[in-house]
Amino acid sequence: MTTTEDLTTSLRTILEKYDTSRDNLIPLLQDIQEHLDYLAPEAVSLVAEHLDLSENDVYGVATFYAQFRFHPPGRHRIKICQGTACHVRGGGMVLDAISRKIGIVPGETTPDGNISLERVACFGSCALPPVMVVDDTVYGRMTPRKSEKLIEDLE
């Protein structure tokens, strides 16, 4: 379990890499999210302090972009593409199947913290639809059945 102190120390190490100009805001948030998997409230205050911005301002930017999360994600992250090519080739069916299987809707994490489900606008793998991403692996040519099997293998 990470204590607040540990968290602050590790965040300070990240902060030190960036000077205090405002155009570092998004890269800094990205770096922190890479490290923590989400933007903890403590992280937001430290970033605000470092760049001499209000927390309000930092949240204002962070909430605008789809990339940033304010809650820890599940141990496994499933992203299902809903781009046009995936849409016309059954991406919705894959999303519905997974949603039914694990009992959560996109944007949620299973109560045991194992899996979080996200829908994404487009991955750019439009030639192999429907596409789903489990953690960092991209799977093309999915079907509801194939996607359910992939989920079953997730510990």
Partner 1 sequence: MNFADIQQQASRNWERFQSGETPRILVGAATCGRAAGAMEVIRAFREAQAADPTLLPVEIQEVGCLGMCFAEPLVEIRGPKGDRVLYESVTPAMVPDLVQEHLRQGRPISRNALCRMPDGQQGEIRDEIPLFTDLPMIHHQLRVVVRNCGFIDPSDIDHYIARGGYSGIARAMEMGPDAVIEDVKLSGLRGRGGAGFPTGLKWGFARKAQGDVKYVICNADEGDPGAFMDRSVLEGDPHAVLEGLLIAGYAVGANHGYVYCRAEYPLALERLRAAIDQMRNKGFLGENILGFGFAFDVTIKMGAGAFVCGEETSLMQSIEGRRGMPRSRPPFPANAGLFGKPTNINNVETLAAVSAILEKGGAWYAGIGTEKSKGTKTFSLAGKISRTGLIEVPMGISLRTIIEDIGGGVLDGKGFKAVQTGGPSGGCVSAEHYDLPVDYEHLAQVGSIMGSGGMIVIDEESCMVDVAKYFLGFTENESCGKCVPCRMGTQHLLRLLTGITGGQGSEDDLETIRKIGDTMKKASLCGLGQTAPNPALTTLDAFMDEYLAHIRDHKCPAGVCKDLISFSIDPEACTGCMACAKVCPVEAITGTKKQPHAIDPQTCIRCGACRQACKFGAVRVE
116 binds partner 1 (CB under 8 A): no
CB of 69 or CB of 76, closer to partner 1: 69
- Dihedral angle sign, alpha carbons of residues 119, 125, 131, 132: negative
Report, in Å, the least distance between residue 49 CB and partner 1: 15
Stretch that binds partner 1, among 8-16, 36-44, 87-95, 107-115 (CB under 8 A): 87-95
Can residue 152 be called a binding residue for partner 1 (CB under 8 A)?
Answer: no
- If the CB atoms of residues 13 and 143 are measured against partner 1, the closer one turns out to be 143
d(CA 96, CA 104): 10
Check binding of 73 to partner 1 (CB under 8 A): no
Q: Of 9 and 88, which CB lies nearer to partner 1 in the complex structure?
A: 88
Q: Which residues contact 123 (CB under 8 A, 6 or more apart)?
A: 79, 81, 83, 131, 133, 138
Q: Are 71 and 109 in contact (CB under 8 A)?
A: yes
